[in-house]
Structure formats: C-alpha cells, structure tokens
Amino acid sequence: MNQLFKVEPMAAGLYRIVDVLGNHCYLVVGETSALLVDSCGGIGNLRSCVEELTDLPVTIALTHGHDDHLSGAYWYEEAYLSSLDGGDRCWELVENHSSRIFEQVIEEGLVEEGTPFALRDGSRPRELPVSDGDFFDLGGRCVRAVAFPGHTAGSMGYLLEDLGILFSGDAVTPIMCLFFEESLSIQDWRDKTLARMAELPFDRLYTGHHDQPISKDELPTFVAASEYALTDRGMAWEHNRLHEFRGIIHLCPCDTFDADSMDFRAVIDHWHELPPRKRKGRHRHS
C-alpha cells in the first residue's frame, strides 16, 4: 500500500483515504464501478493508491473547489464539480495554493522533493458538471449529489443511502470556515445547508478532515453555533499556511476548549473591521 496515504476500510466497499496533511477522500465501490469523493491535496500518487483497492472504473466527484479537495484529481482525466465553484479561476487558485503548500511541506521535511505531486506529474482534469439531485449508479448501490451552499457557493455532498452516510466535504465542520471570497453568509449556511441536511435520510456525516463522524442528531448544535456567531463580536483570525486568508472567528459556547475535538464549535466569518470592545463602567467610590 502507498506509504503516503493511510487507508481504512469503513464498511463493505467503502474506504477512507487520508494524505500526509490529513486531507480525506472516500472510495465507494459498487458492482460495476467506483466513486471517489474528493481527492486530497495532491501529495502522493492517489490514483496508484486507489488502483490497489479496486480495478473497477473510477469516477471522481468533488465536494467543492478548494485545493485540499481537488488537487489529487490531477491524476485523473476528468472530475465532477459544481459549475458554481468551477472554471479557470478555480483551477488556477488550486494550482497556486497547492504548489505553495507542497513547497512548504518539503521545507518542513514532511516529504522529500521527489515525492509524487499531482500538479507537477499530472494534468488539470476535464471538468464535468454536477448538480443537486444527480445520481451516480455504481451497480447495486447509488450515490446522490446534494447541494450545500455555504462554505462555497457550489459545495456538494454525496449521500450513500444504503449505509446512511453523507460525505459532506467542508459543508459542516467543528470549526466552520465561511471566510473565503466564495463563501456565503452565516445566515445562508444556516438556512441552505443545515436546514437541508436536517431533511435528508442519513445517520452520520463524514467531513474532509476528520476521522470521526458527526451524528445527524448533532445538527442542532451547529444551528446554535450559527445563531451565536451572528451576534458575537469575534476575534481576528489568519490561516496558518496561506496568510492572505483571514477572517473573524467566533468561539461558540461548547463543552470543550480542545479545538481538535469533534465537540468544539467555532465559525470563521468573512473579514470585517471589528467594532470597539465595550468597556465596563467604572464606579467612583467616595
């Protein structure tokens, strides 16, 4: 098995694949074909890894237009992506961001310079459109595409109904990122993603960056986080690798201070100037 990926069987015909930066993708295998949901960050030969798991034809379905989900698709000829996220600008940003991160992890000694890298060793895939309600028939099992606008305008989830699983990309995460230019508002995320998820037939969802699932029963905690973020002043925040990304983070009330916990709740909104902090009144004592 490819040493640059951690592969974990999740159920019959279902695998989680994690790259060296912790980016997740999911391989769903049917009787006649397979679907790869997302494609990690481009470090390591993802196609070679997938071919060790199945010899069936593989279709690539991407949840949204960010480098940590799209870059591995450069090992393939084509990939499905919402037209609301796609286009030349999307792929140009992927190439810029992913290449910068690859240089950083080489400098950090996480991988060697000669490590397979999709954007250098592969080519930009042909973009195929995917829309809300589209089905991928894999033979004996189907996966349905569901629109979840918020993290990006074209964010998609992929619903595997026979296992009660939703692959949601970054549509709902413990630290919810809505700071990108292409992100919608907190209100839109609440009304168009969280409300839509509540209507769907699944038991648990898997994100693009966590091993542990989020139960459907936990969706109200994200609604509560959105409501809190709408009234909270927040604090300035900056991405740890791509420093041009900044926003306002709202640390929502929850039962843990561990930002790596699945029970942590925060929302990072678009950057804006923060209002002055309210000073507590001082009382003069005679």
How many Å apart are CA 248 and CA 237, to the nearest integer?
Answer: 6
Six token digits for residue 215:
């139960």
pLDDT of residue 182: 95
- Flag the least confident range among 109-113, 132-136, 172-176: 109-113
Give yes or no for residue 2 having a pLDDT over 80.
Answer: no
Split at pLDDT 50, 70, 90, the class of 244 is confident
Domain ranges of the chain: 6-270
Give yes or no for residue 149 having a pLDDT over 80.
Answer: yes
**What is the percentage of the chain residues whose pLDDT exceeds 70?**
97
Residue 198 amino acid letter: A
Q: Are 64 and 156 spatial neighbours (Cβ–Cβ below 8 Å)?
A: yes
Split at pLDDT 50, 70, 90, the class of 241 is confident
How many Å apart are CA 153 and CA 11, to the nearest integer?
Answer: 31
The length of the chain is 286
Share the mean pLDDT of the chain. Answer: 94
Tens of pLDDT, residue by residue over 252-267, are: 999 999 989 999 999 9
How many Å apart are CA 46 and CA 51, to the nearest integer?
Answer: 9
Split at pLDDT 50, 70, 90, the class of 274 is confident
Span 237-255, average pLDDT: 87
Give yes or no for residue 44 having a pLDDT over 90.
Answer: yes
How many Å apart are CA 80 and CA 126, to the nearest integer?
Answer: 9
Span 190-201, average pLDDT: 97
pLDDT of residue 280: 55
How many Å apart are CA 271 and CA 275, to the nearest integer?
Answer: 12
Split at pLDDT 50, 70, 90, the class of 281 is low
Q: Are 79 and 156 spatial neighbours (Cβ–Cβ below 8 Å)?
A: no
Give yes or no for residue 285 having a pLDDT over 80.
Answer: no
Region label for 38, one of left (φ > 0), alpha (ψ between -120 and 50) or beta (otherwise):
left
How many Å apart are CA 72 and CA 102, to the nearest integer?
Answer: 13
Split at pLDDT 50, 70, 90, the class of 245 is confident
Give yes or no for residue 173 having a pLDDT over 80.
Answer: yes
Give yes or no for residue 156 having a pLDDT over 50.
Answer: yes
How many Å apart are CA 100 and CA 17, to the nearest integer?
Answer: 23
Tens of pLDDT, residue by residue over 73-130, are: 999 999 999 999 999 999 999 999 999 999 999 999 999 999 999 999 999 999 999 9
pLDDT of residue 273: 72
How many Å apart are CA 16 and CA 26, to the nearest integer?
Answer: 5
Split at pLDDT 50, 70, 90, the class of 3 is confident
How many Å apart are CA 145 and CA 87, to the nearest integer?
Answer: 19
Q: Considering the entire predicted model, what is its pTM?
A: 0.93
Give yes or no for residue 275 having a pLDDT over 80.
Answer: no
pLDDT of residue 286: 40
Report the CATH fold assignment for 6-270: Metallo-beta-lactamase; Chain A (3.60.15)
3-state SS track over the chain:
CCCCCEEEEEECCEEEEECCCCCEEEEEECCCCEEEECCCCCECCHHHHHHCCCCCCEEEECCCCCHHHHHHHHHCCEEEECCCCCCHHHHHHHHHHHHHHHHHHHHCCCCCCCCCEHHHHCCCCEEEECCCCCEEECCCCEEEEEECCCCCCCCEEEEEHHHCEEEEECCCCCEEECCCCCCCCHHHHHHHHHHHHHCCCCCEEEECCCCCCEEHHHHHHHHHHHHHHHHCCCEEEECCCCCCCEEEEEECCCCCCCCCCCCCCEEEEECCCCCCCCCCCCCCCC
pLDDT of residue 279: 61
**What is the percentage of the chain residues whose pLDDT exceeds 90?**
88
Q: Are 265 and 172 spatial neighbours (Cβ–Cβ below 8 Å)?
A: no
Span 18-42, average pLDDT: 98
